[in-house]
């Protein structure tokens, strides 16, 4: 698979991420090195990328949501799934409307969803027409937990990529370790037989260099964000769009 669907960039906006990435171009699989932080400290260097094809013995995978939350669940069932998975009451679930796509987003923050990566922000998105679950986005990194060690976030990206590459995604849909712009990489992308997509991206911004307007003591550190999306339909998502011929 050579092109990441344009709707992938919309997934960031649905969950309220402030660092959405433009549509992804054609790719070549390659190992990556992210250099982040003050004085250009290298956080991690991924090993040579694993084979693009999963082992022939791997059973086909079905991406049907995240944990107890399944595609097609209503608002009440999504909240019940959140309570079952994380023990969170309704008052711990933040609800908001995506006014552009007219979807509803339920967001929670949990600790140690992935060991060593600090807090994680999970967003469950209900579609415009169906009002049912169409997407789940998970975000780790310094915007969610300023105290997390950036190198551990990069390590988590490598660990998840290794897991996904051996999970049984359709071979022709898999891409990994693809640089798509300055500080942005598709760590993994794959689909199941029903074209449900899993997308894992790593976004990094180096620490600003202290200058006249930023004293050294005030300078912020590097920003590292790991974004994992489970998408029911990346080609034709259930969002509001103007129809051709309306204007």
Is residue 123 predicted with pLDDT exceeding 60? yes
The C-alpha atoms of residue 227 and residue 188 are separated, in whole angstroms, by 11
Task: Calculate mean pLDDT across residues 161-175.
Answer: 97
pTM above 0.75, yes or no: yes
Q: What is the pLDDT at residue 59?
A: 78
Task: Calculate mean pLDDT across residues 182-210.
Answer: 91
SS3 of 120, please?
strand
| Burial (CB count within 10 angstroms: exposed 0-12, middle 13-18, buried 19+), residue 31 | exposed
Give the model's confidence band at 205: pLDDT under 50 very low, under 70 low, under 90 confident, else very high. confident
The C-alpha atoms of residue 116 and residue 105 are separated, in whole angstroms, by 26
How many helical (H) and strand (E) elements, i.e. helices and strands, does the chain have?
3, 12
Kindly list the domain boundaries of the chain, sorted by start residue: 7-211+219-231
């Amino acid at each position: 698979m050579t092109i990441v669907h344009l709707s992938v960039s919309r997934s960031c906006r649905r969950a309220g991420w402030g660092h959405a990435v433009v549509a992804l171009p054609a790719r070549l699989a390659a190992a990556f090195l992210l250099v982040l932080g003050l004085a250009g400290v290298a956080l991690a260097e991924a090993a040579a990328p694993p084979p693009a094809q999963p082992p022939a013995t791997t059973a086909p995978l079905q991406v049907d949501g995240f944990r107890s939350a399944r595609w097609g669940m209503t608002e009440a069932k999504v909240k019940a799934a959140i309570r079952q998975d994380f023990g969170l009451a309704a008052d711990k679930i933040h609800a908001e409307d995506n006014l552009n796509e007219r979807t509803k987003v339920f967001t929670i923050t949990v600790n140690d969803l992935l060991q060593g990566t600090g807090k994680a922000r999970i967003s469950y998105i209900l579609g415009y027409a169906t009002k049912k679950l169409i997407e789940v986005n998970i975000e780790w990194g310094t915007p969610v937990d300023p105290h997390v060690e950036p190198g551990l976030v990069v390590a988590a990206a490598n660990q998840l990529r290794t897991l996904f590459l051996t999970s049984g995604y359709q071979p022709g849909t898999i891409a990994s370790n693809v640089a798509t712009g300055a500080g942005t990489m598709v760590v993994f992308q794959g689909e199941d037989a029903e074209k449900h997509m899993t997308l894992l991206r790593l976004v990094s911004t180096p620490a600003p260099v202290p200058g006249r307007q930023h004293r050294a003591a005030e300078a912020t550190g590097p920003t590292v964000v790991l974004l994992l999306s489970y998408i029911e339909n990346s080609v034709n998502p259930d969002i509001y769009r103007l129809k051709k011929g309306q204007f």
